[in-house]
Amino acid sequence: MSIIEAERIELRGRLLASLNNDARMARAIDVLAAALEQGNKVLVFGNGGSATQSSHFAAELVNKFYFRRPALPALALAADLASVTSIANDEEFAAIFSRQVEAFGRRGDVALGLTTSGRSTNVLRGLAKAREMGLATIVLAGNRHQELLALPVDVLVGVDTDDTPTIQEMHLFALHVMAEAIEKRLFGGTHG
């Protein structure tokens, strides 16, 4: 193994450990679990790799993470290509999430945005619309989050790097931790 590979693996280990012990992660789980327990839904969104991770997380809530249990309401806003392309064409690409939050969001729901850069205009606008409508707002980001702090959001889980692949790997870890904790908190049970 090269020195560069060893350093990258060591960095990921440190970042995983810091996320695992991060009070903001616990807060995000609390916010999500409380909303779902009260019958509200999760709207999750991001671009590119974050869009696919959003779909992945929504599927784990709707279907299951470790065990069969009642479905939980979650929508991945990048997954509906007709809505995304219609809004992008008729309005602007920056509105693809805010328009869907406007359509599907209700007070008590949670908007969960993923942005590796912390500057994705459509994610920022989606979170701003959610906040305006009284939804709880959670964001997973990297270490650049000045714009997110300016919104502001209720819970910001930042990964202390600006390396996009590493941020995405940490986001997947965070989403898996969230899905497992929510499932266990709401339905008990164990995996096996």
Domains of the chain (ranges plus CATH)?
3-187 (3.40.50.10490)
Give the separation between CA 179 and CA 66, rounded to whole angstroms. 9
Q: CB 69: neighbour CB atoms within 10 A?
A: 14
pLDDT at 191: 62
Give the separation between CA 27 and CA 52, rounded to whole angstroms. 24
Helix axis angle, 96-104 to 121-133, nearest 10°: 20
Mean pLDDT of 118-139: 97
pLDDT at 42: 98
pLDDT above 90 for 10:
no
Confidence class for position 113, pLDDT limits 50, 70, 90:
very high
Q: Which residues contact 4 (CB under 8 A, 6 or more apart)?
A: none
Q: In Å, what is the CA distance from 67 to each residue of 50, 56, 91, 175?
A: 25, 16, 41, 17
What backbone phi and psi angles, to 5 degrees, belong to 179? -60, -45
**pTM above 0.85?**
yes
Task: Render pLDDT for 31-73 as a digit per residue (tens, 0 to 9).
Answer: 999 999 999 999 999 999 999 999 999 999 999 999 999 999 9
Q: In Å, what is the CA distance from 164 to each residue of 5, 21, 177?
A: 16, 22, 20
Give the separation between CA 4 and CA 139, rounded to whole angstroms. 30
Give the separation between CA 96 and CA 80, rounded to whole angstroms. 10
